[in-house]
Amino acid sequence: MFETLIVVDGRQHLIGRLASIVAKELLGGQKVVVVRCEELEISGPIWRNHIKMMRRREKKTNTNHERGPFVQRSPSAIFKRMVRGMIPHKTQRGVDAINRLKAFEGIPHPYDLKARKVVPEALRVLRLRPGRKFTNLGVLASGNGWKHAEILKTLEEKRKVKASAYYERKKAQSSLREQARNEADIPADVKATLELYGN
Residues 109-164: pLDDT tens digits? Answer: 889 888 999 999 999 999 999 999 999 999 999 998 899 999 999 999 999 999 89
Q: Which residue has the higher pLDDT, 192 or 116?
A: 116
Using pLDDT thresholds of 50, 70 and 90, give the confidence band for residue 198: low
Distance from chain centroid for Cα 170: 25
Using the predicted structure, report yes or no on whether residue 1 has a pLDDT greater than 70.
Answer: no
Region 77-81: mean pLDDT is 96
What's residue 2's pLDDT?
A: 66
Phi then psi dihedrals of residue 134, to 5 deg: -145, 160
Could you give the residue ranges of the DSSP H alpha helices within 59-148? 75-84, 92-99, 109-112, 124-127, 137-142
Region 70-94: mean pLDDT is 95
For the question of whether the overall pTM of this predicted structure is more than 0.85, the answer is: no
Domains of the chain and CATH, by start? 6-147 (3.90.1180.10), 157-197 (no CATH)
